[in-house]
Structures are given as C-alpha cells and as structure tokens.
C-alpha cells in the first residue's frame, strides 16, 4: 500500500500562471478530500468527492480554484490564475466509506509558492 500519492511535492510558480496539483488516492477508497494548510488559517477543507462526484465545494475560495476527479484513481486541483496568497501546503486525503469508521489517510502534501 503506497498510501495517498501527491505530486509535485514542491511547486514554485509566478503570479498569473496556471498550477495543477495531482492526487492518487488509496485503491478502493471512495472518498477524496482536498485541504489547504496555512499558518494563518490552519487546515481548511476545500472540496470532497464521493465515488468521483463532487459533494461539497463550499470551501473552495473562489472561481480561480477548480477540482476534478475523472476516475477513482486520480484527482486534480487547479488554480488559474495563481496569486501569491494561494501559497500554502495542499493536502489530499482519502477514506473508505466514511471517516467515522475508517479514518482518513493523508498524502505528504504539495508545497505551493506563488511569487
């Protein structure tokens, strides 16, 4: 079990550029979550999917952010255009059925720096 795999680990981009973060959940997990962590706001849920369908995107900060899950083994979080305030660590997590029974497994995160 390789766990939740995120890529890239680090991303530095210029303001205005498009950024795509990638996540491969644990095989068989049917929930996928995207979180953002900053010093000021801590860990915030951005969006989550169940069986590849977006269920709650109320945490997505603005229209510049979008997330997709084309199949059960892959998800992307895209920021277009990126801004310096988007600099943060972005985590992907997956779980089986619901966390009440099985808990979440988090990836190692993508550290995004927008300059």
Partner 1 sequence: DAKTTQPNSMESNEEEPVHLPCNHSTISGTDYIHWYRQLPSQGPEYVIHGLTSNVNNRMASLAIAEDRKSSTLILHRATLRDAAVYYCILEVLNKFYFGSGTKLNVKP
- Of 12, 15, 99, 115, the one binding partner 1 (CB under 8 A) is 99
* Strands of the chain, DSSP E: 5-7, 10-13, 19-24, 31-38, 42-50, 53-56, 65-71, 74-79, 88-95, 105-106, 110-114
CA distance 70 to 16: 25
Instruction: Give me the least distance between CB of 26 and partner 1, in Å please.
Output: 12
Residues 6+ away with beta carbon under 8 Å from 78 = 18, 19, 20, 21, 65, 66, 67, 68
Instruction: Give me the least distance between CB of 16 and partner 1, in Å please.
Output: 28
Instruction: Give me the least distance between CB of 76 and partner 1, in Å please.
Output: 18
Residue 88: name the closest of 4, 13, 3, 5 by CA.
13
Does residue 2 belong to the site contacting partner 1 (CB under 8 A)? no
User: Looking only at residues 26 through 85 of this chain, which bind partner 1 when binding is defined by CB under 8 A?
Assistant: 31, 33, 42-45, 48, 50, 55-56
Q: How many residues bind partner 1 (CB under 8 A)?
A: 23
CB nearer partner 1, residue 17 or residue 38 = 38
Q: Which residues bind partner 1 (CB under 8 A)?
A: 4, 31, 33, 42-45, 48, 50, 55-56, 91, 93, 98-100, 103-109
């Amino acid at each position: 079990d390789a766990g939740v795999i995120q890529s890239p680990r680090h991303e530095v981009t210029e303001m205005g550029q498009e950024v795509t973060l990638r996540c491969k959940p644990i095989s068989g997990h049917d929930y996928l979550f995207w979180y953002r962590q900053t010093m000021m706001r801590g860990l915030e849920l951005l969006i989550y999917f169940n069986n590849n369908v977006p269920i709650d995107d109320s945490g997505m900060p603005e229209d510049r952010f979008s997330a997709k899950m084309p199949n059960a083994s892959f998800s992307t979080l895209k920021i277009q255009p990126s801004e310096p305030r988007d600099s943060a660590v972005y985590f992907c997590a997956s779980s089986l059925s619901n966390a009440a029974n099985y808990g979440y497994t988090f990836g190692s995160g993508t550290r995004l720096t927008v300059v």
